[in-house]
Amino acid sequence: MKRATRITTEVPCNLCKRSDADLVGTRDRRGRPLRTVLCRGCGLVFSDPRPKDAVNEAYYRERYRQEYKGFFTPRPLQAYRGVLGALDRVARIEHLLRPDAAVLDVGSGAG
């Protein structure tokens, strides 16, 4: 088994603020450069360095749907299935939440 390469991150971990990590990847799924690291303090996996906000915003606005979904505008049935998935996620955790809770669904896909 190959040993992980220990690195010092360019930005600290968002959870524990440590900067020592193991390198887990150097390319995204399309083969483009993207360094992915695993924090040695808490195990959070994140991109380092993080893409600039303007780069992320342009990417998600212009290319994300086409590259990852194969279309730019979702078909109505796909949107409907996304809503059903979101409602299912809410139903699963609803009993754990206070009535006034605000919830952020990270990686929610269709939302």
Q: How far is the CB of 94 from Zn ion (least distance, A)?
A: 29
Least spacing, CB of residue 41 vs Zn ion, in Å: 4
Beta bridge partners of 18: none
| 16 contacts Zn ion (rule: CB under 5 A) | yes
Contacts of 93 (CB under 8 A, 6+ apart): 103
Closest CA to 83 of 102, 58, 57, 105: 105
Which residues ranging from 24 to 63 are in contact with Zn ion (CB under 5 A)?
Answer: 39, 41-42, 44
Nearer to Zn ion, 25 or 109 (CB): 25
CB atoms within 10 A of CB 77: 8
| Closest separation in Å from C-beta 16 to Zn ion | 3
Stretch that binds Zn ion, among 8-16, 46-54, 61-69, 100-108 (CB under 5 A): 8-16
Distance separating the N- and C-terminal Cα atoms of the chain: 38
Interface positions with Zn ion (CB under 5 A): 13, 15-16, 39, 41-42, 44
